[in-house]
Structure 1
């Protein structure tokens, strides 16, 4: 099915469709999806790595800008919350996997054209959802910083790290901030993990896509939570070497997410 459309579609204007069926998943589905994801990456490593590189450079620029602006307290939550926007950044990777799976040839213009076209489709509304959760993440950190560490003073990044990691107030700050962050991450994962590739794959409204995504997580909790844990671990490890691990990790996770979506949601008939 074509993933292009001619004009922007306001939310809710697409015709209502029956909710897609959700398949039962197993650990074997994650294994098979990972193998297919790696195969997609190895088949087009330069193109796949390009999307990972863009994401890594964006992360580096965010951290550099925060240092320049003196917003030291934002650096850790920004780095920790940065992976939250990864699903939206993977649109090009989903399209590459979709075309390879359908044996459709493609070049740079084809993939970049589809990525650019997403601003006219329902995935654009999902971007608002993703970025909204990211900003909630940042501002809840600011709230706990003001409430818990109000008497602390730090004039440099080292001082901030010392307060956060080596004082009782800092430990409480980390505990509460991590707990709230885990909840926000779980919510965002549930509404996007299937919704993002689904919106690229078919013409449906973003509310239906989010509901389908939540249903998939609800009906396959162990498998989907395992996949969430894999994503979290891989992204954390990727951020350590100055975001550069994302050049490989983001493409592989993006391609794999596409194949897991295909296993979770039967294709449109006809």
Structure 2
């Protein structure tokens, strides 16, 4: 395990939690503990995560039915933007297991009784706003490049995107913009939701602490973002059902990452 160092002056500067510096070994340990939590609570985690593949299928069906195929990939990619908020129940399960408390599925709802539930909801609303901005940006980009072209089938849409200059332009610029949105969300939320659940702090303090955590650990946090992106991609491949495993592991692992980044 990498040695963890406390950043001098961070806590006093924020008048809040103290941020530690971490290494790659800490990311591995957070993932290992996330997997361990999932194996210890598979039934609970599965039923919490089951709504996500179902939601994905519903969204995909709605898209096909309304001939708005250009928004399919932005919706799938945008899932990562609200993931930190959606996983709050998983953080609660990991928190309770860490303390040796009961970990029944019903206990995940205890998050609703948290003193910081208002702050959690407010930050979740901010992520939803960012998601809507991403979708609006993606739609505007598509119309700028393709004009009024409306694909009539998934096959035709994929052919247009993957085999034309306009399609590759859309892919390159769209991914660059998506990366910027993802970086913003990672910076403001990587430890903020677990912190709000764990302590009675304000949204401003939680977001400041998250920003400080990224600033103190740029390399590990970029790597963490890549790990999340790759795992979500793998989860999406089998018709979204892989998320039933990926989401719980990432949710539990995020709690343990928070515990390693933010001092007690």
Q: Same fold (TM over 0.5)?
A: yes
- 1:21 match: secondary structure: coil
1:28-107 alignment, distance < 5 Å = 28-107=25-104
8 Å Cα contact 2:116/2:200 also seen in 1: no
Instruction: Decide whether the 8 Å contact of 2:111 with 2:117 is kept in 1.
Output: no
Q: Is 2:72 aligned against 1:109?
A: no
Task: Measure the CA separation in 2 of the matches of 1:64 and 1:119.
Answer: 36
Q: Deviations along 1:113-152, whole A, 9 cap, x unmatched? A: 4257689421101111111111111111111111111164
Query: Partners of 2:233 and 2:115 in 1: how far apart?
Result: 28
* 1:20 corresponding residue in structure 2: 17
Gaps of 5+ in 1: 1-16
Per-residue deviation, residues 206-263 of structure 1 (Å, max 9, x unmatched):
1211111011011001111111111110001110101111001110011000001001
Moved more, 102-111 or 244-253: 102-111
Aligned with 1:250 (options 247, 250, 260): 247
Q: 1:119 to 1:71 in 2, by over 3 A?
A: farther
- Is 1:158 aligned with 2:158? no
Aligned residue-pair number: 251
Larger mean CA deviation between 75-84 and 92-101 belongs to: 75-84
Structure 2: 5+ residue stretches without partners: 1-13
Normalised to the residue count of structure 1, the TM-score between the two structures is 0.88
Is 1:142 aligned with 2:139? yes
